[in-house]
Amino acid sequence: MPKLNKKKYVLIIPDGAGDLYRDREGKSPLALAQIPHIDQIARFGICGRMQTLFPSLPRGSLVAQLGMFGWNPYQYYPQGRASAEILATHGIDLDEKDIAFRANFVRMDGSLLTSYNANYIKSDRAAPLVEKINVDLKAQFPEFELYHNSDFRNTLIVRGANVSAKQLICLEPHENIGCQFDMAKLIGGKDSQGKLFAERINKYLLQVTNLLRFEAANAIFPWSASEAFQLPSFSENTGFSNKVGIIGAMDFLRGMAIAGSMDFFPVGSGCPNTDFQAKANQVIELIRNDYGLIICHINATDEASHMGSLDLKISSLEAIDQFIVQPIIRYFHEHLHELGGVMVVPDHYTNVLPHQNGEKRVNAHSLDPVPFAIWNGINNDSVEEFTEESMCQGRYGKEPISSLSLIELLTGKSNGNIPNIINPVHNEEIEYAI
């Protein structure tokens, strides 16, 4: 007698796909894009809205995805991405008293920040500068460790800092092009302990600036202060005991996988020209290799939004639909006995025109609840298409549910905070186009 396959669950995250932008007909990028396969998941599944960001926490993917994967961000968010990224890129854990920063190589014209990435300096020129800084300043600043990640991106670790990241003021370089900065006061503190630490790191930054005064990258700009990143395992935290794999390209996501004892598969890039088809192929390979939950993250939509390109955001959505969602639907159509659930949900809104209605760039990520749809071959509601507005008519559309309920909802093990789903689709199969 053949062995029955376990049910498989796929979570597809088009990063930043939600949007406040509306054209003259009131259509968002999701409504403007031709996404028939994502629409089919909505039509044959259950839909709603999910709150993934929180008023008192940073509006970013790490916060959102921690909650979506079941870790309460209020408990586990390390106050920034740096500790997750250094874990991913160099396998370095922080001690409780250490602190890490994302540290850009930048270009300054006097006190004016002219480029947040030193005119996109490449690794072959950036890595030797990191080595130069570490060698020349080690004796004077023994607790400082600078690590090169890629191109202009570095991580700065300060050992024994003994200060909370919450007590530091660190501006984001990419949001402050054209602003004046005094390196002697670049990092600020909110209390006496924070100010004392800020004074120390600012002395370091002045020495770095002096050391790099004739280089293409003539300063480093630390931001996103981060504490030790520690998580209970995904299985321990959620009770999901089968193998879990994450497919993506972002360092913070790899760090989350490492910290949470999940397998990570680096596929594609974080750009709109990522290899969408390779991501789908990896999803199907993991299904065949008996992974119970496969998480596929695509950053293309978020990056297109930050580039301010509506056309690129729409084309990224269409590529996700054609090259990722379609083959996954096809696989489960051919192996219905394996279908546990396929869920499409952005991690947050990334508004392609953040300046509209007088908004500032920092509001590119807004607090709006994201749309979601789950196809499990059993349950459905009355939603016909995957858009921000249509999800309000879904089973979970009237009142947004918490992202902390995502895994339970996807796997059908929801607790009492989510109503039981009692409206099955009778013998209907989701359509797909070849």
Residue 351 resides in a domain? yes
Please report which residue ranges of 72-155 form alpha helices under DSSP H: 73-76, 82-90, 123-137
Residues 132 and 213 in one domain: yes
pLDDT tens for each residue of 71-119: 999 999 999 889 999 999 999 989 999 999 999 999 999 999 999 999 9
Q: Is 382 inside a domain boundary? A: yes
Whether 87 and 93 have beta carbons less than 8 Å apart is answered as: yes
CA atoms within 13 A on the CB side of 189: 16
pTM over 0.85: yes
> Which of 161, 196, 226 finishes a domain?
226
- 264 and 304 fall within a common domain: yes
The Cα–Cα gap between 232 and 210 comes to: 43
Identify the pLDDT of residue 358.
56
Q: How many domains are there within the chain?
A: 2
135 and 202 belong to one structural domain? yes
- pLDDT of 18 > 50? The answer is yes
CB count in 10 Å sphere of residue 120: 10
Q: Are 59 and 108 found together in one domain?
A: no
Mean pLDDT, residues 318-323 taken together: 98
- 28 and 143 together in one domain: no
Domain-embedded: residue 311: yes
Query: Domain check: are 88 and 107 in the same one?
Result: yes
- Is residue 213 one of the residues assigned to a domain? yes
Q: Position 108: which residue type?
A: M
Give the mean pLDDT of 272-301: 97
206 & 91 share domain: yes
**Is the model's pLDDT at 257 over the cut of 90?**
yes
Task: Please tell me the predicted confidence (pLDDT) of residue 107.
Answer: 97
Q: Residue 145 pLDDT > 50, yes or no?
A: yes
pLDDT greater than 60 at residue 136: yes
Q: 159 pLDDT exceeds 60?
A: yes
Question: Which structural domain, as residue segments, surrounds residue 243?
Answer: 8-75+231-411
d(CA 240, CA 236) in angstroms, rounded, equals 8
pLDDT at 350 over 90: yes
Q: Is residue 398 part of a domain?
A: yes
Contacts of 169 (CB under 8 A, 6+ apart): 187, 188, 189, 190, 194, 198
Within 10 A of 196 (CB to CB), how many other CB atoms are there? 12
* Lowest pLDDT segment from 79-83, 240-244, 282-286: 79-83
Q: Which of 226, 260, 282 is the last residue of a domain?
A: 226
The pLDDT value recorded for residue 4 is 47
pLDDT tens digits, 327-346: 999 999 999 999 999 999 99
Sign of the Cα pseudo-torsion (139, 164, 16, 375, in order): positive
Within this chain, do residues 249 and 389 fall inside the same structural domain, yes or no? yes
pLDDT score of 150 more than 90: no
Whether residues 219 and 245 fall in one domain: no
Residue 115 to residue 177: CA distance in whole angstroms: 6
Whole-number percent of the chain with pLDDT over 90: 84
One domain for residues 254 and 403: yes
Identify whether 307 is part of a domain: yes
Domain boundary among 179, 206, 226: 226
